[in-house]
Structure 1
């Protein structure tokens, strides 16, 4: 039976140093050779995807935590946050001194000081994220977008707010969770539309392709992977996953630094 395989990127395929373990690369390529279809399923938007990731064998893309989906370069779905909601968030962030970057499939809209978070902590963090910054800089725009797939935001350490406070404020209209990417500066969150997650993205893809959801496989590690692991026919947590994802998983692999993705794909019968 051929499978649709949905893989988180950061912490599952890509290390914090923005590299892919050789074992993960080889396992993905073997899975494709065996007839399975690999989907990136990530909080990143299309502008944040390194071109070389496609060479590993991915054909499908679910980005922005389920807001945008593509197969072989063609949109499958594209759900956006409205201008009205963006303006409401902008006013709240400005009032509380919160920096942000709005993310869309074709552009990124960072506030003036947001990207400095990647360099402010220490030299090691800056080195780890250098390739990422190089990837996304050509897509930076200075204005406020009229629509966006999602946003990342950082609450400075001297602001008396937590990510949970922001989530409570927008609880009726937006889904806000602690971010899966930590720059070491402030408190970082992800802001998304209510009703769209990596899990809904998986389900939407399966429905549009007429593929039985019970024959899908997912692997993830962060809080934004919870619904992905819950929705797939076989949901696997990385050994470095947060407790909530491990609790929801059908099986737990080793960490990304211990051949975790290759081990997960072997368990799932994708590489034999």
Structure 2
């Protein structure tokens, strides 16, 4: 029976150096040969999806943590931050002295001093994901954020999300008050240790986007399998018939998953595809 498979990208399909295990590539290609559908389901916008991921062979993607849905090149849903709200976010971040990048399907548009400000923050983020000091010593923002654009127009009408470097957790709390009609979150750590804040379309989740795609495909939820490693992936693992957590995942997702596989760089995706008889 055909299954519909949803794969988080960072920490699931690729590691936090953006490395794709050959075993994962093989597993996806073999599963698709067997008639299953495979989608990326990620916080990334389309511009952040490098060609080597598309070259695996995918049936589409859910991006922006659920704001964008694509099937075989056809846009099924795309919910954007309203243009007036997007302009207000940029002005608010400038007034607060926060560096940021604007996430769209056309690129990640960085603020004036983001490159310099992001360097130590993204290195700290990589260290928190198990990388060594030597591995991150020369790392730049563009090594982590595929599709980053410097010097681009910051007043835009094509935004899925906005991410900004936190000076403290107070910036996140302030963003919730300043933009009550948007969804405010954090990433790169928990609570006080969060490195980034973000703002996106309210009431959007990966689970909601999967529901939209299933309606479009006229498919049944009982045939779905989701893979993830982070707290943001929990709603989609909970929504799908089978939820698989990567061995490198956080404690919360490991506790709620139906199946825990090996880490992304220990052939975790391939091993789970085997266990679930997808290949």
Shorter-chain TM-score tier: 0.7 to 0.9
Q: Distance in 2 between matches of 1:23 and 1:163?
A: 41
Cα separation, partners in 2 of 1:233 and 1:75, compared to 1, 3 Å: same
The 5 A counterparts of 1:1-272 are: 1-120=1-120, 121=123, 124-125=135-136, 126-127=138-139, 131-132=143-144, 135-137=146-148, 141-156=152-167, 160-162=168-170, 164-166=172-174, 168-169=176-177, 172-179=180-187, 187-271=195-279
Answer whether contact 1:44 1:63 (CA < 8 A) is retained.
Answer: yes
Post-superposition Cα deviations, 1:73-92, rounded to whole Å, max 9, x if no partner, equal 12111110112322332343
The 10-residue stretch of structure 1 (258-267 or 41-50) with the greater mean CA deviation from structure 2 = 258-267
Q: Normalised by the size of structure 1, how large is the TM-score?
A: 0.87
- Following superposition, the deviation at residue 163 of structure 1 comes to 6.1
Correspondence for 2:128: none
Cα separation, partners in 2 of 1:26 and 1:176, compared to 1, 3 Å: same
- Following superposition, the deviation at residue 145 of structure 1 comes to 1.0
Q: Distance in 2 between matches of 1:181 and 1:64?
A: 19
Count of paired positions: 265
Q: Which segments of 5 or more consecutive residues in structure 1 lack a partner in the other structure?
A: none
- Following superposition, the deviation at residue 146 of structure 1 comes to 2.5
Cα separation, partners in 2 of 1:181 and 1:265, compared to 1, 3 Å: farther
Answer whether contact 1:223 1:245 (CA < 8 A) is retained.
Answer: yes
- Following superposition, the deviation at residue 220 of structure 1 comes to 0.5
Q: Distance in 2 between matches of 1:191 and 1:243?
A: 25
Q: Distance in 1 between matches of 2:30 and 2:139?
A: 31
Q: Normalised by the size of structure 2, how large is the TM-score?
A: 0.85
Q: Distance in 2 between matches of 1:130 and 1:146?
A: 23
